[in-house]
Amino acid sequence: MIYELHKQNFEIDKCAVFRRTRDEFGALSNMAKGFPISFMGETWDSSEALYQSFRFPDKPGIKEEIRLAESPMESKRVSRSFDSLTRPDWEVIRGKAMRLSLISKFSQNPQALEVLKSTGHKMIVEYSVHDDFWGAHPTEDENILHGFNMLGRLLVEVRNNWP
């Protein structure tokens, strides 16, 4: 599915919102630990690590460093340290990379899938003060988050298309 990229407002009390991995819907976060993924014969400790590895398809050493990072945040930090080596089409394919990471996570981790299903028909929103592309940031109105919320949109897509 292709999304029209524009920022939106999200009412917190009408959405399934997560900010931290220990929140009610925290298992939906790419930073959530305990949801390993087997992909192409290797095990990734988190969907964040798998996602970040897609930035470097022709750099096995960097991919391995990301895979072996001790936490999802560390895998992101490792990836960012190699920004200049990111594949040239990353901005175009990163949504597909995220979708694949999410599908892999939920297909292999029934506990995470249950959390995803528990969101019902609500919009899913990642509350983020730093990233309004993947999430949405707080506004002056305490009940409104604003952003692109691409992670939340992809989570809804995966949930709604789950067999």
pLDDT, tens digit (0-9, with 9 covering 90-100), for 72-100:
999 999 999 999 999 999 999 999 999 99
- Using an 8 Å Cβ cutoff, are 57 and 40 in contact? no
Please name the amino acid found at residue 9: N
What pLDDT was estimated at residue 157?
97
What pLDDT was estimated at residue 45?
97
Enclosing domain of residue 25: 1-34+109-163
Please report whether residue 141 resides in a domain: yes
- To the nearest 10 degrees (0 to 180), the angle between helices 60-67 and 72-80 is 150
Please report whether residue 24 resides in a domain: yes
Please report whether residue 114 resides in a domain: yes
Tokens of 8: 């939106």
If asked whether residues 47 and 61 sit together in one domain, one would say yes
What pLDDT was estimated at residue 3?
55
- Using an 8 Å Cβ cutoff, are 151 and 30 in contact? yes
Please report whether residue 101 resides in a domain: no
Please report whether residue 123 resides in a domain: yes
Can you tell me the distance from the alpha carbon of 100 to that of 117, in angstroms, rounded to the nearest whole number?
18
> How much is the average pLDDT of 94-113?
98
Q: Which residue(s) pair with 18 in the sheet?
A: 126
Please report whether residue 83 resides in a domain: yes
If asked whether residues 41 and 27 sit together in one domain, one would say no
Strands (E) located in 27-77: 37-39, 42-44
What pLDDT was estimated at residue 4?
63
pLDDT for residue 112 is more than 70: yes
pLDDT, tens digit (0-9, with 9 covering 90-100), for 1-53:
445 679 999 999 999 999 999 999 999 999 999 999 999 999 999 999 999 99
Please report whether residue 126 resides in a domain: yes
- Using an 8 Å Cβ cutoff, are 103 and 158 in contact? yes
- To the nearest 10 degrees (0 to 180), the angle between helices 150-160 and 110-117 is 100
What pLDDT was estimated at residue 1?
46
Structural domains of the chain, count: 2
What pLDDT was estimated at residue 163?
86
Please report whether residue 103 resides in a domain: no
Tokens of 94: 């990163």
